[in-house]
Amino acid sequence: MSFPVVLNDEERYSPWPAGGEPPADRRPAGFEGAKEDGLAHIDRVWTDLRPLSVRQAPA
Tell me: the pLDDT tens digits for 32-56? 999 999 999 999 999 999 999 999 9
Enter the pTM of the model.
0.85
CATH no., domain 3-56: 3.90.820.10
The arithmetic mean of pLDDT across residues 15-23, rounded, is: 89
Domain spans in the chain, listed from the N-terminal domain onward:
3-56
Query: What is the C-alpha to C-alpha distance for residues 27 and 24, in angstroms, rounded to an integer?
Result: 8
- For the chain, helix, strand, coil in percent to 5 are 25, 30, 45
Q: What average pLDDT does the chain have?
A: 94
Could you tell me what percent of the chain has a pLDDT over 70? 100
**Confidence band for 16, pLDDT divided at 50, 70 and 90:** very high
Is there a contact between 52 and 42 (Cβ–Cβ < 8 Å)? Answer: no
